[in-house]
A = this chain, B = another copy of it.
Amino acid sequence: MNSELVLIIDDEPQIRKLLKIVLESNGYRVIQAKDGKEGILLAGSHQPDLILLDIGLPDMSGHQVLKNLLAWYTKPIIVLSVQNGEEDIVNALDSGASDYLAKPFRTGELLARIRSALKRYRSVDQSDSVVVFSDLEIDLISRTAKKNDTIVKLTQTEFNLLSLLVKHEGKVLTHQFILKEIWGMGYQTETQYLRVYVAQLRKKLETDPNHPIHIITESGVGYRFC
A98 to B174, CA, bound (A): 33
A142 and B170 in contact, given A108-B90, A156-B219 (Cβ under 8 angstroms):
yes
Task: Give A157's nearest chain B residue, CB to CB.
Answer: B220
What chain B residues lie within 8 Å of A219 (beta carbons)? 155-156
Total chain A interface residues with beta-carbon distance under 8 A: 35
> Does chain B have a CB within 8 A of A37?
no
What chain B residues lie within 8 Å of A94 (beta carbons)? 112, 115-116
Minimum CB–CB distance for A79 against chain B, Å: 11
A112 to B89, CA, bound (A): 8
> Does chain B have a CB within 8 A of A96?
yes
> Does chain B have a CB within 8 A of A199?
no
Task: Give A91's nearest chain B residue, CB to CB.
Answer: B112
Minimum CB–CB distance for A91 against chain B, Å: 8
Contact in complex: A96, B112 (CB < 8 Å) = no
> Does chain B have a CB within 8 A of A109?
yes
> Does chain B have a CB within 8 A of A196?
no
What chain B residues lie within 8 Å of A142 (beta carbons)? 170-172, 224
A90 and B109 in contact, given A144-B172, A172-B144, A220-B156 (Cβ under 8 angstroms):
yes
Contact in complex: B171, A141 (CB < 8 Å) = yes
Contact with B along A86-128 (1 / 0, CB 8 A): 1101100110111100000010110111011001100010000
Other-chain residue from B119, B141, B143 in contact with A218 (beta carbon distance below 8 A): B143
With A143-B218, A144-B172 given, name 15 new contacts (CB 8 A).
A86-B106, A87-B108, A90-B109, A93-B115, A94-B115, A96-B119, A99-B99, A141-B171, A142-B170, A142-B172, A143-B171, A143-B172, A155-B219, A156-B220, A156-B221
Complex A-B, nearest 10 residue pairs according to Cβ-Cβ distance, in ascending order:
A142-B171, A156-B220, A90-B112, A93-B116, A93-B112, A143-B172, A86-B108, A124-B124, A86-B106, A89-B109
